[in-house]
Chain A
Amino acid sequence: MWFKKRSLIIYALLVVAIFISMRLTEFDLTKFRDFRNMIDFLSQWFPMDFTRLPGMLEDTLATLAMAFLGSFLGLIIGLPLSFLAARNTAHSKPVFHFFRVALSFVRSVPEIVFGLILLTTLGLGPFPAVLAITFHNIGVMGKLISELIEAADTGPQEAMKAVGAKRWVASLFSILPQIWPNVLSNFFYRFEVAIRTSLILGFIGGGGIGQRLFNDFNTFNYSSVSLDVLIIMVMVILVDSLGSFVRNRVI
């Protein structure tokens, strides 16, 4: 009743895919016989070392700043572009296609690649990291918002046209209030992702708590590593709850 012949084939294919993926990733649970090593390693994390807490907090602030600037600049630049990349608000088909393709191109380059490229001219530090996050977020926000624009109710847009408003003023006023809560929730999600990204960028010299974590790790300073990780967790949770607070206020 529930299983048709064709779906059995699909299940078989899925099993094969899982098997192949396990071979390719050397997935082997028997390797956990060295589990004790991990326990030993983690036990070195405690007790936490609070002596360098002020420096850590400073770096955390830098990470937050990186993530905020990167995602906010991405929003500010991506928002107008998204109107050009939405089928219903673009001036013409070629404009629409150009911006769609441009946004997906920008989006397809991972932040770390942007970061590595920018390092060559800007040197180490948070600035190239901010730019890398910005570029990627322009692509992501542009795409997400242009989809919201295309799904917006056409009624208000028609009313604004009927009033005699200029085309783009009409689009802006009739669409933006509708999609605003969703734009904000996308922004906060991207802000959260940007925090994780800036950690990775810290590993290649982007500064912030990510770089400190990487350095502490490489110098076997595990009692500091544990505090770094704790701070990162608290930061992500705080940003997440700030996001839901703002979303609830707006809706």
Chain B
Amino acid sequence: MLELKNVSVRYPGMKDNALSDLNLSFEKNEFVCVLGKSGAGKSTFIRCINGLQQPTEGEIHFDGTPMSFQKEELRQIRREMGMVFQHFNLIPRMSVLQNVLTGRFGYRSTFKNLVGWFTSEEIQEAKRIIAEVGLTEMENRRVENLSGGQKQRVGIARALVQHPRILLGDEPVASLDPGTSNRIFSLLQDIHERLGLLTIINVHDIELAKRYATRIIALKDGELIFDGKPEDFTSAEYQETYESEQQNLFFQI
């Protein structure tokens, strides 16, 4: 369904690649967690998939066709991929319902978006999804008055209303407490199982990854160092993923 072929990313002015020569393929029904230290390239990896970051080399194939970075085609690909963010990235001063409805923007005409004409089906659908993520009766609350966990639920609802085929998460629980993180992950798992969405999520927390993922990918300095089942990600792999070069040096001495 989704395939990365020799994907590399190098930011302008940087000596090293942020991602080096990644070759990966993903199928429907996978729940993938991406592990790695800060700066290992996790974010860059996720952002490549929906074209927020253009690879310097290589190609990304979606349903067998290489992804284009042409404005219109990119837009059509993006609306099939929902994304949730670390800082939620909701639109302030708008209600839960309004925020969720912006998830439909990719499918509607500019004029309809500007005047805010939504069909009653679209509104019913948005309300149904808001209830599904556990925010029943909250659709008219302003998003800045919600707690962190509730905000992320709005973020998830906004992604779901797109009817995406892939759900991406860039550290969606990094600014939440452990209990809330756990509940958000189990919501993501529910959705994944019910809709059969390919779900790819960056996390810090290896416990969460091992509990929920069906597949773990580990990145280090932009390179793939692990790709396999959660049960195969043992303390040796953990060491390799998270140890720093300074520690290496220390041990060598």
Instruction: State the A residues within 8 Å of B (CB).
Output: 155-156, 158-167, 169-170, 172-174, 177-178, 180
Partner of B79, one of A164, A170, A177: A164
A-B contacts, 25 of them at CB < 8 A, read A155-B85, A158-B89, A159-B83, A159-B90, A159-B91, A159-B158, A160-B91, A161-B78, A162-B52, A163-B105, A164-B75, A164-B78, A164-B80, A164-B105, A165-B75, A165-B102, A165-B106, A167-B71, A173-B91, A173-B105, A174-B91, A177-B91, A177-B92, A177-B94, A178-B91
Residue numbers of B with Cβ under 8 A of A are 50, 52, 71, 75-83, 85, 87-94, 102-103, 105-107, 110, 113-114, 155, 158, 162
Contacts of A161 in B (CB 8 A): 52, 78
Q: Give B122 Cβ to nearest chain A Cβ, in Å.
A: 14
Please state if B87 and A163 are interface contacts (CB–CB under 8 Å).
no
Q: How far in angstroms is the closest Cβ of chain B from A251? A: 9
Contacts A163-B79, A164-B75, A164-B79 given; indicate if A178 touches B93 (C-beta within 8 A).
Answer: yes
Closest residue on chain A to residue B74 by CB atoms: A164
In the complex, residue of chain A having the shortest beta-carbon distance to the beta carbon of B83: A162
Given contacts A155-B85, A158-B52, A169-B114, contact A163 B103 (CB under 8 A): yes
Specify the chain A residue showing the minimal Cβ separation from B88.
Answer: A155
- Residues in A with CB closer than 8 Å to B103 are 163
Which residues of B have CB within 8 Å of A170?
A: 105
Distance to closest chain A CB from B176 (angstroms): 16
In the assembled complex, which residues on chain B have CB atoms less than 8 Å from the CB atom of A174? 91
Give A90 Cβ to nearest chain B Cβ, in Å: 16
B89 touches A166 (CB 8 A): no
Contact residues in A for B88 (Cβ distance below 8 Å): 155
Report yes or no: B106 in contact with A163, Cβ–Cβ below 8 A.
Answer: yes
Query: In the complex, what's the smallest C-beta–C-beta distance from B240 to chain A, in angstroms?
Result: 31
User: Given that A160-B102, A160-B105, A164-B75 are known contacts, is A169 also in contact with B85, CB under 8 Å in the complex?
Assistant: no
Residues of A within 8 A of B82 (CB): 162
A163 engages B158 (CB within 8 Å):
yes
Partner of B113 from the list A155, A169, A180 (CB cut-off 8 Å) is: A169
| Cross-chain contact B92 with A178 (CB below 8 angstroms) | yes
Q: Which residue of A lies closest to B72 (CB)?
A: A166
Pairwise interchain contact B110-A180, C-beta atoms closer than 8 A: no
Contacts of B91 in A (CB 8 A): 156, 159-160, 173-174, 177-178
Measured between alpha carbons, how far is A173 from B105 in the docked complex, in Å? 10
Q: How far is the CA of A180 from the CA of B78 in the complex (A)?
A: 28
Query: What is the CA–CA distance of A204 and B151 in the complex, to the nearest angstrom?
Result: 57
> In the complex the two chains form, what is the Cα distance from A160 to B159 in whole Å?
11
Q: Which of B106, B110, B155 contacts A164 (CB 8 A)?
A: B106
How far, in whole Å, are A162 and B85 apart by their CA atoms in the complex?
Answer: 10
CA distance A166 to B76 in the complex (A): 10
Q: Which of A155, A162, A180 has the most CB of B within 10 A?
A: A162
B residues less than 8 Å from A172 (CB atoms):
114
Cα–Cα, bound, A161→B92 (Å): 16
**Contact call A156/B92, Cβ cutoff below 8 A:** yes
